[in-house]
Amino acid sequence: MGEAISFYFLASILTVLSIAVVTVQKPVVAVALLVFNLFFLAGVYALLGAHFIAVIQVIIYAGAILVLFMFVIMILNPDMDLKETGDKGKKFILFSAVSVGFLFFSFKMFEQMAPLTKEDIVSEILEDNTYEIGLQLFEDYIWPFELASLLILLGIVSAILISRKPSQNKSV
Amino acid sequence: MNWLEMTLCFPLLGAILNGLILRSESKTLAQIVSVTACFLAFFSALFLSYDVLTHHEGLKVYHLASWIEAGSLSVPFSFLIDPLSSLMLLIITGIGSLIHIYAGGYMSHEKTTYRFFAYLNLFVFMMLLLVTGENFLIMFIGWEGVGLCSYLLISYWFEEDKNAKAGMKAFLVNRIGDIGFLFAVFLTFKQFGTLSFLDLKNILLNSHTLTQEMQNSIALICLLMLVAACGKSAQLPLYVWLPDAMAGPTPVSALIHAATMVTAGVYMMTRLSFFYFLAPQIMTVVAVLGCLTAFFAATIALVQNDIKKVLAYSTVSQLGYMVMGCGVGGFGAGVFHLLTHACFKALLFLGAGSVIFAMHHKQDMMEMGGLKKYLPKTHAVFLLGVLAIIGVPGFSGFFSKDEILWKAFNYPVIGPYLWAFGTLTAGCTAFYMLRLYTLTFCGENRSDHHTKKHIEETPVIMWGPLAVLAFLSVFIGFVGVPAVIGDLVGIPNFFEHYLEPVIKMPHAAEENWHFLRDHHSHALEWTLMGTSTSFVLLGALLGFNFYKRGPKGISLILKKKFSRTHKFLTNKYYVDEFYENIFVTPLQEMSQFLWKIFDLIFINGFINGVGRGLMISSALSSWKNSGGLQTYAVFFVLGCLVFLGFFLK
Amino acid sequence: MVPIEHYFILALIMFTCGTLGVLFRRNLLFMLMSIELMLNAVNLVFVTASSFLGDLDGQIMVFFVITLAACEAGIGLAMVIAIYRRYGTINPDFLKVLRG
Amino acid sequence: MSPYLPILLIILIALVIGGAMSALAHFCGPRNQTAAKKEPFECGVPNSSRREKMSVKFYLTSILFILFDIETVFLYLWARVFKTLGWFGVAEIFVFLLILVVGYVYVLRSKALDWD
Amino acid sequence: MDLFYFELMAAVVKMCVILAMALQLPPIMVWIERRAGAFMQRRKGPNRVGLFKWRLWGLLQSLVDTIKLIFKEESVPEDADKVFFHLAPVLSLIPALLALSALSFGNYIILFDHEIPLQLINLNVGFLFILGISGMGIYGIVLAGWASSNKFSLLGSLRASAQMVSYEIPMGLSLIPIVLIYNSLELGSIVEAQANTWQWGIFLAPISFFIFLITMFAETNRAPFDLAESESELIAGFHTEFGSSKFALFYLAEYVNMFTLATLCSILFFGGWQVPFIPHLKLIELLGSHNLASFIGFVTLLLKSAFFMWLYVWVRWTLPRFRYDQLMKLGWKFLIPLSLGNVFVTSLILMM
């Protein structure tokens, strides 16, 4: 009961926020809404028993990645070119095509989804799954884990390289 | 990590370290890396061989990973260590290490050497792949790899057009052989369904009768493999690249074009001996081809003036011996000669390298002479090398060459002729080697004043390896003393027993090769040995006497007298020109013709037409290539949806 | 007990919003944010499946997705900054070097 | 009761407090706006647009923050299972840290963290 | 259902207590800061305001200040983004309160046969939640600076948030040895593991404590790290444009954050609600009452955090302010390597 209430509450907030994020005019507002969105999504994760993932979502996604967005907006102050460009009619046609495609596709998907049997569902919510996740990550996922560090390294290096001040002898 | 992996990975590691990672300006660092890599490989190979030969009954297959798995074709990365391959491993890494050390001295005038050493290490790695591969494809990787390294090293000083062309020539000529190899591989797979040497060996050794079709295809495989061996081991029609390959640095000539790579053909034939035994007619071809090559190359070597060219033709000639040895069924003898030749020819090349180094990269013997007193150490070891190659009794070359000649004599029908040519060749060899020696080291120095002033003995890093090789050249022959002598002095023939497990005669072939088992009288063998030795001594004497006063004197008279023959020989029987006229020029002309007809009119027309058509149609459709990122993305997403919808039905 | 389909529908809504945002907002920042939204929708599916099936693999995958998203956002935003500096706009309609 | 319910309560309470305070001030405080009050408070420096570009260093700082943040989270996960994994885990995390230290050194060398 | 309502009631009560603590923090702390500053500088400080004839060392000054703040005019700049201008103070208050309520203030007490832990939000991810939530506090600051449409505010907010993110990493890293040593993320069990006084975090992980102490100051933008509001450079930082009640809210959030970190420090490094040299279990035995022991533990914890609050004040009036480049250098080039090394060395020592 409580779970259902919480879920539908969070889901409706998330739906509204998701739509708002992509439709508002100002990037700052969008980022702020996205923060809320991610925060409430963490709530959904918690509802699903993924406490650790929920916290990670808050720490990294809401607490770090979106700070980055915020900073970029602050640095660039890009509200000057906010007007939407492009051929309205063409955009509308494509928009409806994609939307219809998604709708159609989702119907098909739910139609074809094999229903979960009772045995599939493990209803017990794992308590203290931090430990379990840790074990699994460090034992079964060693290589992805080490590769993740490489990915981070790559991220650091390329971000610094890209955002460096453009040098004087630019070719183009 | 087992010994095999270590053996293989050290040279590769050295190559990667030198060529890709360090790229060091420091010559010392580059050399240390590559010498260390090679030495480590040598020691690993030593342990590996010891391990396999003592603990695994001389045969072990290392299965590292699976590689190609397609239907019935299964080619794993597996490696075979048996007496033959461990012998090759030791030759390659051992002599390779010495040459690596030597190269440091020889290349000391270069600006950077990391590229050179990286290539050398890569070569060693490829060569190791070639000799340890358990199936045709691994061997083929090595086969192509050594070809590549050879190309890279021949044209190491690629700034000069000549060197680049020489590399190209080696590469292209080798391609002809490689085609043979590839077709042989295809045919093998078609016929036997496997590419593994051991499997093939088991199949063939245990079958008592073979169908006609099987026999034909075996003969064809052998023939194709012979083509491959001709390319790599510089046999008669395809030998032309080897003399030109001398354009590379001398250590390269020593390592690749004398000691190791060019012997790959002999190695391969020995590895496939069970095939060759089943194709006696092809064996005859092999024997004749080897014999002719040996003689032919020796005659050319008689008159060459470039010190490295002489050695190159000598190499071709010695390879001819080896191939002849294989052809008459004496694979063991061929490999034995391979071993001794690797030692003394490496020694000779490196010695020649020292001479060239001391003479400031002059290679013409006519400008040398009298180096005995300038380069005493080099002279001493070089002399030992000369004695070894011409086959003075007691030196290593004597035993191996004699073994081959004896095996050749026993060959039915054409055997005596082979022997006669072989003996003649031995005489020629003695002549031209003594000629080389005399012209280089004896008499007066003929170089110009400036050069003469700067001749000095090479550093220890260069003559040290030479000393080791000289030791080997003199004594390595005692591992395979022929039975007749061995019985006399009480030294058994280790080598024959050593290779016995590798060279097995299929049951189906035994009747054709009964003469190998026949007993021959010792007296006959002594007689033949005596004859050939006297030929050698005669040749040596002539060579020494003709040239002991330099290029003038008797040799000049002879040259005048037989001027046409001399010219013919100096121009190497006009083989290069022959090829040029018969193959290259017509090919070029035909290409020109085809280019004019097909390329310009048909193909260009077609392609331009297509292009024009596309231009028109793309102009029509370029509205959708707006360059707009998101427009593309939209179509991408729509495409994905259609695709998914297709699967979800 | 909320049926699993409802979680999926929520994820689908978020994903659709994200996709439409990427495709139709003429602003690189919005596009990046929409990508984040899409990634989160995927994460939601992972977590849902993981929770319903009692299998932690899904959650670990989310972990890696988040790592990836962090790097993606970092590099993407660096590119936004570089583009803004160079062209003075972050509207992809004005960035048409590839125009056919 | 779900441990998450209090979170919701706290959020609501905070909103209420914030709203109440604002409302109180709104109703209790005086209101007489002047033109000067509406301007940004900049201590007499001639008023300029706030549309001013900030240093890109802030961006670099925050991207590095993200990446180190992820690293921290991985470390927490590891710390939680540290006792179970033993030396294996230490070795694993050592490699992980080693790779990141490479990045860190790169950052230091590229002077991305040098303000001024 | 009964249980649910009982727990809900307990939660509400706990929440009220926490709120009471939080709301009385700024008045008292402001008074302490002013009095302490005066004391250190040989001044009198606020000492007039009192009740009738009792002056109470000027204690009521803060109350008067609060009332004054509410009755001040609220001025919103013309260009300001109205929504975020109003929302920003709340956005910095919410994380502060959430973090505060996730602290473990004491062992459980027993009421009506129910164990009630003295912790409002008890998640099994433990103090990771606190770290995550306090990271969310950045948005309040950034949005405040952005919304007030003032370049000094914006710069102040960027500085403040860059500083906060920079020091969040050493803070997070400095706590990993604690997890390694006590093998838990939950504050309750960490405190229980510190029953023996010599097992306190300060003794087992002194370097962690050192790093945490520094980051504590930096995270709350307090002196000597109060660059964001350095009046000589940036007027008053991100809350330049905020007056009246909104300013009060920022103040509240700041002090709550300070208190949270002070308490977290006491919990992780100073045994939390363990009375020094008397393990909690022994205390229960001595007193014969669970609830009384828990209460004493609670008071002990408050005293410990009071010490750190005092430290905040003390440092503020003692140390000069950093320069911004020095601050970043300290964070990135000293604390991060130090804390990484600390983590690694600690793990090695533990493995030995």
Chain C contact set for A125 (CB, 8 A):
51
Amino acid A168: pLDDT: 47
Residue-wise pLDDT tens digits, B20-42: 887 878 888 888 888 999 999 99
* Mean pLDDT, rounded, for D92-107: 85
Helix (H) or strand (E) holding B69: strand B60-70
Q: Is residue C5 part of a domain?
A: no
* Mean pLDDT, rounded, for A76-89: 66
Tell me the pLDDT band of B571, cut-offs 50, 70 and 90.
confident
Residue-wise pLDDT tens digits, D61-70: 888 888 888 8
Tell me the pLDDT band of E11, cut-offs 50, 70 and 90.
confident
Which of A1, C1, C31 has its CA nearest to residue B629? C31
- What is the signed CA dihedral for D71, D74, D75, D80, rounded to 10 degrees? 170
D85 touches chain E (CB under 8 A): no
Chain E contact set for D42 (CB, 8 A):
150-152, 235
Amino acid B627: pLDDT: 61
C73·D70 Cβ contact <8 A: no
Where is mean pLDDT largest: A17-21, B443-447, B478-482, D112-116? A17-21
Q: Indicate the range of A135-139, B221-225, E15-19 predicted with least confidence.
A: A135-139
Residue-wise pLDDT tens digits, B109-143: 888 888 889 999 999 999 999 999 888 989 999 99
Assess whether pLDDT exceeds 80 at residue B16.
yes
Pick the CATH number of A1-78 from 1.20.120.1200, 2.60.40.3080, 3.40.50.1220, 3.20.20.70: 1.20.120.1200
Please list, in sequence order, all residues whose beta carbon lies within 8 angstroms of the beta carbon of residue B22, skipping any fewer than 6 positions away.
Answer: B29, B30, B33, B114
A121·C59 Cβ contact <8 A: no
Q: Name the DSSP class of A50.
A: -
Percentage of residues in chain E with pLDDT exceeding 90?
6
Amino acid D54: pLDDT: 67
Where is mean pLDDT largest: B167-171, C40-44, E1-5, E123-127? C40-44
Residue-wise pLDDT tens digits, B75-91: 888 898 888 888 999 99
Chain C contact set for D63 (CB, 8 A):
74, 77-78
d(CA D53, CA D32): 33
Token pair, residue D24, equals 């109180």
Asked whether at least 3 C-beta pairs link C and E within 8 Å, the reply is no
Residue-wise pLDDT tens digits, E30-62: 888 888 888 888 887 777 777 777 777 777 887
Amino acid D46: pLDDT: 56
Rounded to the nearest integer, the mean pLDDT of chain D is: 78
A28·E138 Cβ contact <8 A: no
Closest chain D residue to A3 measured between Cα atoms?
D2
The count of domains in chain C is 1
Please check whether residue E284 is in contact with residue E293, taking contact to mean a CB–CB distance below 8 angstroms. yes
Helix (H) or strand (E) holding B74: strand B73-81
Please check whether residue A58 is in contact with residue A110, taking contact to mean a CB–CB distance below 8 angstroms. no
Chain B contact set for C26 (CB, 8 A):
630
* Mean pLDDT, rounded, for B5-23: 86
Question: Rg for chain A (alpha carbons), in Å?
Answer: 21
End-to-end CA distance of chain B: 52
E347·D62 Cβ contact <8 A: no
Of residues B499 and A115, the one with the higher pLDDT is B499
* Mean pLDDT, rounded, for C28-53: 89
Within 83-122 of A, beta carbons closer than 8 Å to C belong to: 84-86, 91, 94-95, 98-99, 102, 106, 110, 113, 116, 120-122
Asked whether at least 3 C-beta pairs link D and B within 8 Å, the reply is no
Residue-wise pLDDT tens digits, B140-188: 999 999 999 998 888 888 888 888 888 888 888 888 888 889 999 998 9
E234-259: burial string, b at 16+ Cβ within 10 Å, e else? bbbbbbbbbbbbbbbbbbbbbbbbbb
Rounded to the nearest integer, the mean pLDDT of chain E is: 84
d(CA B61, CA B114): 34
- β-pair type (B73-81, B60-70): antiparallel
Q: Is residue C41 part of a domain?
A: yes
d(CA D38, CA E79): 8
Amino acid A170: pLDDT: 43
Helix residue ranges, H only, chain E: 2-40, 61-71, 82-101, 128-147, 151-182, 187-193, 201-204, 206-219, 231-234, 244-269, 280-287, 290-318, 324-329, 336-351
- What is the signed CA dihedral for B556, B557, B561, B564, rounded to 10 degrees? 0
Amino acid E25: pLDDT: 85
Tell me the pLDDT band of B318, cut-offs 50, 70 and 90.
very high
Assess whether pLDDT exceeds 70 at residue D26.
yes
Residue-wise pLDDT tens digits, E196-205: 888 888 888 8
Residue-wise pLDDT tens digits, E295-308: 888 898 999 999 99
Q: Indicate the range of A63-72, A114-123, E102-111 predicted with least confidence.
A: A114-123
CATH number at residue C56: 1.10.287.3510
Cα C10 from chain centre: 15
Assess whether pLDDT exceeds 60 at residue C62.
yes
Percentage of residues in chain A with pLDDT exceeding 90?
7
Assess whether pLDDT exceeds 70 at residue E228.
no
Q: Would you list the DSSP string of B445-457? A: --S-HHHHHH--P
Assess whether pLDDT exceeds 90 at residue D31.
no
* Ramachandran assignment for B440, one of left (phi > 0), alpha (psi -120 to 50 degrees), beta (any other): alpha
E161·A59 Cβ contact <8 A: no
Tell me the pLDDT band of A171, cut-offs 50, 70 and 90.
very low
Token pair, residue E103, equals 């602290």
Q: Is the dihedral of CA E82, E87, E89, E91 positive or negative?
A: negative
User: In angstroms, what CA-CA distances link E235 with E68, E89, E144?
Assistant: 22, 19, 15
Asked whether at least 3 C-beta pairs link B and E within 8 Å, the reply is no
d(CA E85, CA E147): 5
Residue-wise pLDDT tens digits, B597-631: 766 777 777 778 888 887 887 776 666 666 677 77
B211-232: burial string, b at 16+ Cβ within 10 Å, e else? eeebeebbbbbbbbbbbbbbbb
Neighbours of B467 (CB within 10 A): 16
Token pair, residue E329, equals 């250098």
Fold category of D5-109 in CATH: Methane Monooxygenase Hydroxylase; Chain G, domain 1 (1.20.58)
Of residues B604 and B261, the one with the higher pLDDT is B261
D103·A6 Cβ contact <8 A: no
Helix residue ranges, H only, A24-141: 27-47, 51-56, 66-76, 88-112, 129-139
Residue-wise pLDDT tens digits, B377-434: 888 889 999 999 988 888 888 888 888 888 888 888 888 889 998 999 999 999 999 8
Token pair, residue B266, equals 């002999």
A68·D63 Cβ contact <8 A: yes
Q: Is the dihedral of CA C69, C72, C74, C79 positive or negative?
A: negative
d(CA B97, CA B251): 11
Widest pairwise Cα distance in chain A: 66
- What is the signed CA dihedral for B421, B424, B426, B427, rounded to 10 degrees? 180
Q: Among C26, C43, C81, select the one facing A163 at the smallest CB separation.
A: C81
d(CA B586, CA B606): 27
Q: Is residue C80 part of a domain?
A: yes
E161·A58 Cβ contact <8 A: no
Assess whether pLDDT exceeds 50 at residue A169.
no
d(CA A35, CA A58): 9
E261 touches chain A (CB under 8 A): no
Q: Is residue C4 part of a domain?
A: no
* Mean pLDDT, rounded, for B269-279: 89
Within 179-238 of E, beta carbons closer than 8 Å to D belong to: 179-180, 183, 185, 235
Vertex B422 angle, CA B416 and B423, to 5° = 90
d(CA B648, CA B507): 62
Of residues B563 and B468, the one with the higher pLDDT is B468
ipTM, 2 decimals? 0.72
Amino acid A172: pLDDT: 39
Q: Indicate the range of B333-347, B509-523, D90-104 predicted with least confidence.
A: B509-523
Amino acid B72: pLDDT: 77
Percentage of residues in chain A with pLDDT exceeding 70?
81
Q: Is residue C68 part of a domain?
A: yes
Rounded to the nearest integer, the mean pLDDT of chain B is: 85
Please check whether residue E15 is in contact with residue D6, taking contact to mean a CB–CB distance below 8 angstroms. yes
Domain interval for residue C88: 26-92
Tell me the pLDDT band of B212, cut-offs 50, 70 and 90.
confident
Residue-wise pLDDT tens digits, E229-254: 665 556 666 777 777 778 888 888 88
* Mean pLDDT, rounded, for D37-64: 67
